[in-house]
């Protein structure tokens, strides 16, 4: 949602000012008057027709149903309400909306069309901040943490779990699937996305969406497109060369959409090429429909629609979140536009068709949602497994981790570790069973509250080290914390960065935590830092500490997951989905995110590609992550039958513990000519018992070997020799072979499945 902020730290204020929605619409009545026809109540059994025949295709059913609908009914379908009262705009949500929800589209009882109950978002069933009663649900680790697992099964299981909670909470549309590329480490919403690489992000987000939709509900993929910062998010103009966009931001969406087949795409707040994303026909029609063949519907972000005729013609199908647009564009204005022929009747039919098609395709008609009991214990195991799989062990000197039984005096410092683990802020915030473990932190209202899940790492550490003395200092006094550290065998510092929707952040820990860690590390070299951050942070203290575990926002079982990792009950297996720069000077644009035109002059040279191209050594490279065991990847061979690049190799666990490795395949033309020296072309995650070995075969999507030829509107693979690299990270290439590929072109419509 796009609400005004009362009190916010640091960089937040400027961004939030611009995040405010435009002038409030006139006060609405109950039900809200958007100029929408109020359909008569229908008491008879719903009319039945061919659309009820489940043997027909979703398209055939949608065609039959649209033919039976009045114009008013079609209009009902394309106009969404905010699901929560919003006193500042004197707005009362429709009575049938689920309280505290993000969105609602009324049912059409005469035809048996169910209401669309929409809930945020990617880590679980959220409740809008303004709602007096919060839905208490299970939260997954942040989406970036899930991407860091590089484990498609983890992503899918997480999606299936939150989709189950959504349907058992009465929701049939989940506004999940954030896949904006991590171009800007300071983007406040990076934690909602899948990282900096299009293949990794597209794959992982798709798997989550597949999991959600396995519950016979619709998921979105969002925010389309090039919505890579929050500063000036309601008006900022993303400027990115189209050829570069096709192999970076757009490719992430393309891969996610074709793998997951989401019911809906949410267009974003920002402008692209000076045109608002939700009325941008290049994005919504040329790319999404003509090139990618997307069959679902496009819904706008809440307050992201800016016109009626332009949006309708460009390809917007559903105008979401009344009353947050300046006008109810797909309400009365659309009716007028239809009356005058400015929007053809066929366009309304198409909008309705796409929405109904998606509902049929997911089984929403046949499997109505309703409030049902939720198995929180089973779901806690799912989120804990996700947190364990996504945590990244960045540094581990002298085997400091896992914690040894000989550590009898353990100091735990900072990060509210005595109470819980941090969550990201904004519309995606899931309220936990048990409520906020650290209430009252500022801001307490949008984009807050700052919320800690009641899963205390300190309690879990005590539980797992019954023979040790575990002492806690809150970290507010670095000298006292250092004294405690000096008097301890091992020190675990919890450090946080709160990020959220509607503001960007510094690439740093909040407050005085750098000084705290520096003081503690200087006092005791056996210092482990556990990070709970939205994305990358600088670590000026890195040489003073023994180990660093990046736990991201680890979700409602985060405390237990962290303790399991610290004590070796779980073996870290996450890998960075984003490069950690040493400092902002290493970024393509060190200046803070700014308003107006945001020109991405690095083009497709995003993340590790930028560091490779410029020869800059990051703090921690993309793909990096340590384990408590050791792996050897070897025997790389690559072939190109029929022009399809396939690589085989084996992975061996040469250490003493079970663990999982993430072999990564990078490719590059020997002659150069790409945006960067190499691209991630394939990956997998391999779990191995000690001593075990596994043969792996990976096939490369040809688009990852291609550049986008804007003049001919197609993919082009240059003929020649290519390096194929088997790697442990973008900076740790283990073996390289070469292959020859013939020149090849692929049409814009080429798809993997």
Site residues (CB under 6 A) for ligand BGC, limited to 523-562: none
Q: What angle do CA 346, 352, 357 make, to 5 degrees?
A: 120
Pairing type for strands 101-105 and 116-119 reads antiparallel
> Which two tokens mark 516?
């705290």
Give the number of residues in contact with ligand BGC, rule: CB under 6 A: 10
Q: Give Cβ neighbours of residue 737 (< 8 Å, ≥ 6 apart).
A: 636, 637, 638, 723, 724
Pairing type for strands 714-717 and 707-709 reads antiparallel
d(CA 301, CA 669): 39
The least CB distance from residue 40 to ligand BGC, in Å, is: 29
Residue 265 binds ligand BGC (CB under 6 A): no
- Where does residue 380 fall: left (phi above 0), alpha (psi -120 to 50 degrees), or beta otherwise? alpha
Smaller CB separation from ligand BGC, 182 or 247:
182
Q: Which of 165, 184, 232, 301 binds ligand BGC (CB under 6 A)?
A: 301
User: Is 144 in contact with 552 (CB distance < 8 Å)?
Assistant: yes
d(CA 621, CA 623): 6
The least CB distance from residue 188 to ligand BGC, in Å, is: 11
Single out the residue of 430, 398, 395, 296 nearest to residue 350, CA to CA: 296
The least CB distance from residue 587 to ligand BGC, in Å, is: 24
Residue with tokens 């293949």: 199
Smaller CB separation from ligand BGC, 216 or 222:
222
The least CB distance from residue 123 to ligand BGC, in Å, is: 12
Smaller CB separation from ligand BGC, 269 or 674:
269
Q: Which of 120, 164, 232, 327 binds ligand BGC (CB under 6 A)?
A: 120
State how far the alpha carbon of 600 is from the alpha carbons of 10, 281, 331, 594, 707, in Å: 24, 21, 36, 12, 18
Residue 349 per-residue DSSP state: H
Count Cβ neighbours within 10 Å for each residue of 568-579 and write b for 16 or more, e otherwise.
Answer: eebbbbbbbbbb
Residue 121 binds ligand BGC (CB under 6 A): yes
Q: Tell me if residue 328 falls in helix, strand or coil.
A: coil
Catalytic residues: 301
Residue 199: enclosing H or E segment and its boundaries?
A: helix 198-213
Q: Which of 302, 498, 610, 620 binds ligand BGC (CB under 6 A)?
A: 302
The least CB distance from residue 140 to ligand BGC, in Å, is: 16
Smaller CB separation from ligand BGC, 426 or 577:
426
The least CB distance from residue 222 to ligand BGC, in Å, is: 6
Half-sphere exposure of 66 (CA within 13 A, CB side): 23
Residue 102 binds ligand BGC (CB under 6 A): yes
Smaller CB separation from ligand BGC, 101 or 707:
101
User: Is 563 in contact with 464 (CB distance < 8 Å)?
Assistant: yes
Single out the residue of 379, 387, 474 nearest to residue 432, CA to CA: 379
Q: Sketch the per residue contact string, 411 through 450, with ligand BGC: x for CB under 6 A, - otherwise.
A: ----------------x-----------------------
The least CB distance from residue 320 to ligand BGC, in Å, is: 7
Smaller CB separation from ligand BGC, 120 or 325:
120
Residue 125 binds ligand BGC (CB under 6 A): no
Smaller CB separation from ligand BGC, 84 or 456:
84
Smaller CB separation from ligand BGC, 121 or 465:
121
Residue 73 binds ligand BGC (CB under 6 A): no
d(CA 495, CA 511): 10
List residues bridging with 413 in a β-sheet: 473, 493
Residue 2 binds ligand BGC (CB under 6 A): yes
**In 419-564, at which residue ranges do the beta strands (DSSP E only) sit?**
421-422, 452-453, 469-473, 490-496, 527-532, 547-550
Site residues (CB under 6 A) for ligand BGC, limited to 146-185: 175
Q: Which of 1, 65, 338, 547 binds ligand BGC (CB under 6 A)?
A: 1
Residue 509 binds ligand BGC (CB under 6 A): no
Residues lying near ligand BGC in the complex (CB under 6 A) are found at 1-2, 102, 120-121, 175, 222, 301-302, 427
């Amino acid at each position: 949602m796009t609400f005004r902020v009362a009190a916010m730290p640091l960089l937040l204020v400027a961004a939030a000012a611009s995040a405010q929605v435009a002038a409030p619409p006139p006060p609405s009545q109950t039900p809200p008057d958007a100029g929408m026809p109020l359909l008569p109540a229908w008491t008879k059994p719903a009319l039945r027709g061919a659309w009820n025949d489940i043997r027909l295709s979703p398209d055939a059913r949608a065609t039959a149903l649209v033919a039976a609908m009045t114009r008013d009914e079609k209009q009902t379908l394309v106009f969404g309400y905010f699901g929560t009262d919003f006193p500042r705009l004197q707005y009362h949500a429709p009575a049938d909306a689920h309280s505290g929800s993000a969105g609602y589209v009324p049912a059409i009882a005469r035809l048996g069309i169910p209401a669309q109950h929409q809930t945020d978002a990617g880590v679980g069933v959220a409740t809008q901040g303004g709602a007096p009663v919060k839905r208490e649900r299970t939260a997954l680790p942040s989406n970036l943490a899930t991407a860091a697992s590089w484990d498609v099964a983890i992503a899918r299981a997480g999606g299936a779990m939150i989709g189950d909670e959504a349907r058992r909470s009465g929701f049939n549309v989940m506004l999940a699937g954030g896949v904006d590329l991590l171009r800007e480490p300071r983007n406040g919403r990076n934690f909602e996305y899948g990282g900096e690489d299009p293949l990794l992000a597209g794959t992982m987000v798709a798997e989550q969406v597949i999991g959600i939709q396995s519950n016979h509900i619709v998921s979105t993929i969002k925010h389309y497109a090039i919505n890579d910062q929050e500063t000036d998010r309601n008006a900022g103009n993303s400027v990115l060369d189209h050829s570069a966009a096709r192999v970076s931001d757009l490719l992430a969406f393309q891969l996610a959409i074709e793998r997951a087949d989401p019911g809906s795409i949410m267009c974003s707040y920002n402008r692209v090429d000076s045109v608002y994303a939700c009325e941008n026909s290049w994005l919504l029609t040329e790319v999404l429909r003509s090139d990618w063949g997307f069959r679902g519907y496009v819904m706008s972000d809440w307050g992201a629609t800016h016109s009626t005729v332009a949006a309708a013609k460009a390809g917007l199908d559903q105008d979401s979140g009344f009353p947050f647009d300046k006008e109810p564009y797909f309400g009365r204005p659309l009716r007028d536009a239809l009356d005058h022929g400015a929007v053809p009747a066929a366009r309304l039919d198409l909008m309705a068709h796409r929405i109904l098609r998606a509902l049929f395709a997911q089984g929403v008609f046949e499997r109505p949602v309703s409030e049902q009991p939720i198995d929180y214990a089973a779901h806690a195991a799912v989120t804990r497994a996700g947190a364990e799989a996504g945590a990244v062990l960045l540094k581990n000197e002298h085997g400091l981790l896992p914690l040894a039984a000989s550590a009898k005096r353990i100091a735990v410092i900072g990060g509210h570790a005595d109470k819980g683990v941090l969550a990201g802020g904004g519309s995606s915030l899931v309220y936990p069973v048990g409520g906020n473990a650290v209430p009252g932190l500022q801001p307490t209202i949008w984009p807050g509250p700052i919320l800690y899940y009641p899963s205390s790492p300190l309690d879990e550490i005590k539980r797992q080290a019954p023979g040790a003395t575990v002492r806690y200092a809150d970290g507010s006094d670095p000298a006292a914390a250092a004294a405690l550290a000096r008097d301890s065998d091992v020190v675990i510092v919890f450090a946080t960065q709160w990020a959220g929707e509607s503001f960007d952040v510094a690439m740093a820990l909040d407050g005085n935590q750098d000084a705290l860690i520096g003081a503690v590390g200087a006092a005791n070299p056996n210092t482990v830092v556990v990070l709970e951050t939205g994305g990358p942070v600088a670590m000026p203290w890195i040489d003073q500490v023994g180990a660093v575990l990046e736990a991201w926002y680890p979700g409602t079982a985060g405390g237990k997951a962290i303790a399991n990792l610290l004590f070796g009950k779980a073996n870290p297996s996450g890998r960075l989905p984003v490069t950690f720069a040493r400092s902002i000077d290493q970024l393509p644009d060190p200046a803070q995110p700014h308003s107006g035109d945001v020109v991405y002059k690095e083009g497709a040279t995003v993340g590790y590609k930028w560091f490779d191209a410029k020869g800059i050594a990051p703090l921690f490279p993309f793909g990096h992550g340590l384990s408590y065991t050791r792996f050897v990847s070897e025997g790389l061979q690559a072939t190109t039958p029929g022009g399809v690049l396939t690589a085989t190799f084996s992975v061996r666990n040469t250490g003493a513990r079970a663990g999982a490795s993430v072999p990564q395949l990078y490719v590059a033309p020997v002659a150069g000519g790409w945006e960067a020296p190499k691209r991630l072309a394939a990956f997998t995650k391999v779990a191995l018992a000690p001593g075990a070995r596994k043969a792996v075969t990976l096939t490369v999507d040809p688009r990852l070997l291609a550049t986008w030829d804007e003049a001919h509107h197609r993919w082009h693979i240059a003929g020649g020799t290519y390096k194929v690299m088997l790697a442990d990270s973008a900076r740790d290439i283990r073996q390289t072979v070469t292959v020859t590929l013939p020149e090849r072109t692929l049409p814009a419509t080429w798809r993997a499945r």
